[in-house]
Structure 1
């Protein structure tokens, strides 16, 4: 899957781009650490990031994880990530997570990208449901979800432990096909 729009390209994460992936994560580490804790913990150094990319390769082959990267075509820099995880092929359904580099927030890039990825997933894998989880304080993430047809299904109390050790409630948003 390669989708180009405006000056951006959405493509599966090329695990050979570990250095660019590390830079994307490192530039946004502080704002991502609470809700992308798995990715953050596995990309502390460039060496860690290359090892993580190697592990991702096998997860993709096993159809257990699908990471899509957003690239700025003018700068050749990675500026966002949309990942598909917790896949249940029996239904089929999956959880979707996303973030955009701080320099691109509020420009609609992540909302458009997410829409393209959702369309691809529904046509290619025939998912019956996608869900995303968000802390109620993450207004931007909630707005992106709603723009892409997700609706609030409920709040799960004390559902997630942040990297700082805080146990927080998460709002669950779903989209059915």
Structure 2
């Protein structure tokens, strides 16, 4: 973790965020469809990041970026979404640039970010919804202390129109 910084995404990072999405667009489009759709151009990404800043203020969405210290480039993304303050609980999603896959960066940053957001926001439960075929993301969830709660069949439609099963992983605090 000493080579990486995790911080909230801000509008002044729009260009680097756009590059991360653009470089990984094809592999992200099915399960980060909303983010990919809102970041087709740099101009779209700037607008999207401005909208996100408002969502952060409203406490309905918390997007974090993973920055490589040496290059100051954004290499990954972890977002806290579908927040229900009545419980309180939230869903986490994450991805990393394909060049950095398999190095444990997401697992390490996710674990430290979970500690931070649970302390800061007092979440009682966090969950991850992951395609039952996405072995890498499943391993990140398991290695971050999440437990399989079940598989919901035919729960998500990809941008290609395929309806897939999602595994639900939860972590209670």
Give the TM-score of the pair, scaled to structure 1. 0.96
1:157 positional shift:
1.2
1:11 positional shift:
0.5
Which of 6, 11, 18 matches 2:14? 18
Q: What SS does structure 2 have at the residue aligned with 1:17?
A: helix
Q: What SS does structure 1 have at the residue aligned with 2:87?
A: coil
Mapped partners of 2:44, 2:161: distance in 1: 22
Mapped partners of 2:28, 2:36: distance in 1: 7
Q: In the TM superposition, what are the counterparts of 1:8-157 in structure 2 within 5 Å? A: 8-157=4-153
1:100 positional shift:
0.8
Aligned length: 173
List per-residue Cα deviations over 1:140-172 (Å, max 9, x = no partner).
000000001101101111111111111111010
Mapped partners of 1:149, 1:86: distance in 2: 20
Q: Following superposition, which runs of at least 4 residues in structure 1 exceed 3 angstroms of deviation?
A: none
Mapped partners of 1:116, 1:28: distance in 2: 24
Mapped partners of 1:55, 1:159: distance in 2: 28
Q: Runs of 5+ in structure 1 lacking a partner?
A: none
Q: What SS does structure 1 have at the residue aligned with 2:11?
A: coil
1:95 positional shift:
0.3
Mapped partners of 2:169, 2:137: distance in 1: 11
List per-residue Cα deviations over 1:63-104 (Å, max 9, x = no partner).
000001000011111000000000000000000000011011
1:48 positional shift:
0.7
Mapped partners of 2:38, 2:21: distance in 1: 10
List per-residue Cα deviations over 1:5-43 (Å, max 9, x = no partner).
321100111221111000000111111111000100100
Q: Runs of 5+ in structure 2 lacking a partner?
A: none
